Amino acid sequence: MNPDFFSLKVSEIRPEIKGKATSVTFDLPASLAKTLGWQAGQHVTLRFHLNEKEQRRSYSISNPPGAPLRITVKRVAGGLVSNHIGDHLKPGDTVDVMPPFGQFSLTPDPLKRRTHYFFGAGSGITPLFAMINAVLKEEPHSVAHLIYGNADGENIIFGEELDNLARDHAARFTLRHVLSAPSLWRWSSPWRKGRVDADAIKAAVMETPPVAQDVQYWICGPGAMNTEVNNALMALDVPANRIHAESFGGAAAPASSVTGIAANAKVDLGGATYEVPVAADQTLLNAILSAGLTPPFSCQSGVCGACKARLTNGRVHMHARMALEDSDVARGDILSCQSVATSDELSISFDK
């Protein structure tokens, strides 16, 4: 990455969603086209001098490669830079811009045949919008599905552009809006009300299952949404290497490897109750076996379900839960071979 800043002239300022966001397009001289080239999904760092201090911010590029260099900035309440861009920046001004970079990028390939699912919320659309356009333009055998969450119909960035894409590429692009607070008078009914959550994701995938089987999932929203979408996809056995995510505001904190804590477990087994100490690195099954008891178990890999027990008090973390349905988990069923304690007092029963 080139750490230098380049001074670029603003060629166009366009307010989005009634001025709550601003698209800024830059003049890119041919001599800088290569240095400032980008992949769909990448971002640029801008440098401003405001309040006598240097301010740096990164914004996703909202156009695909080949189109003008453009960023789209949503106002942050009280935000110094985003409001400066919205209120004061005008065509002809110059801004210092660093070469685009970022791991969250989609490189279209005309010979690839992929199904891309995009999950976005709010201004998370900006990199996704670039990616969707890149796929529709440069990857003719692939399809794109966008599930896009917003508060209401008035706050959909690129709403009209997306409608046009859906109309012009009906066979290759589907657009579904999820609105958390739809206003009654404008939006009769979005695809779903609520948030881009596990249920919405499941419904979307079932409604438009992949045809092209090289499937990629792209997520961009606030940290909490990213975590939720990621977890929902993992729960559907989507391999991690097919999931690509970037969050804005607030960090996503995926807890990949959970270790347990030492605990005391009350175990109901064969009509009797036993007190079993569980070490931090021990599964419940191993702790119970170490105590000389004989609970049911078999595969020890979370597949068979033989070691299933009911958690009646306390909390555990399961490394894997292949043998359980979501409804089993909701009822409190656990796989003792896959469970470590995450609270220091537990009660489980093999008799229920």
Partner 1 sequence: MTRMYHHLPVDAYTSQDWFDREQRLIFSRTWRYAGLAEDVPEPGHFVSVQAGLNNIFIVMGRDHRLRAFHNICRHRGTQLIRAVGKTQKALTCPYHDWTYDLEGNLISVPDEAKEYPNGVDKSCLGLKPASVDIWRGMLFVHPDPNPPSLAEWLGAVDPLLGPHKPEELVEYPDARRSYEIKANWKIVVENYIDVYHLSHLHSNTLHMYDHARAEYGWKGPHYHFWEPPAPDYATNLEKNLPTPRVIPEPHIGAWVPMLFPGIGLGAGEDSWNIFIITPLGPDLTRVENRTKLANASGWEFQKQEWSSWSFWKDFGGPKYPDSDATGEDDPMASGDFTAEDIYACEQQQKSLTSPFFEVGPAANGESPVVRHQQAILDFLETQEAGT
Binding positions for partner 1, rule: CB under 8 A = 110-113, 140-141, 205-206, 209-215, 233, 235-239, 299-304, 322-323
3-state secondary structure string across the chain: CCCCCEEEEEEEEEEEHHHCEEEEEEECCHHHCCCCCCCECCEEEEEEEECCEEEEEEEEECCCCCCCCEEEEECCCCCHHHHHHHHCCCCCCEEEECCCECCCCECCCCCCCEEEEEEEEHHHHHHHHHHHHHHHHHCCCCEEEEEEEECCHHHCCCHHHHHHHHHHCCCCEEEEEEECCCCCCCCCCCCEECCCCHHHHHHHHHHCCCCCCEEEEEEEEEHHHHHHHHHHHHHCCCCHHHEEEEEECCCCCCCCCCCCCCEEEEEEECCEEEEEEECCCCCHHHHHHHCCCCCCCCCCCCCCCCCEEEEEECCEEECCCCCCCHHHHHHCEEEHHHEEECCCEEEEECCC
Residue closer to partner 1, measured from CB, 300 or 342: 300
Q: 226: closest CA among 202, 257, 195? A: 195
Residue closer to partner 1, measured from CB, 16 or 228: 228
Integer Cα distance of 148 and 220 in angstroms: 10
Count of alpha carbons within 13 angstroms of residue 122, beta-carbon side: 18
Beta bridge pairs of residue 237: none
Beta bridge pairs of residue 143: 115
When computed from its CA atoms, the radius of gyration of the chain, rounded to whole angstroms, is: 25
Smallest distance from partner 1 to CB 214, Å:
7
Counting Cβ atoms within 10 Å, is residue 161 exposed (0-12), middle (13-18) or buried (19+)? middle
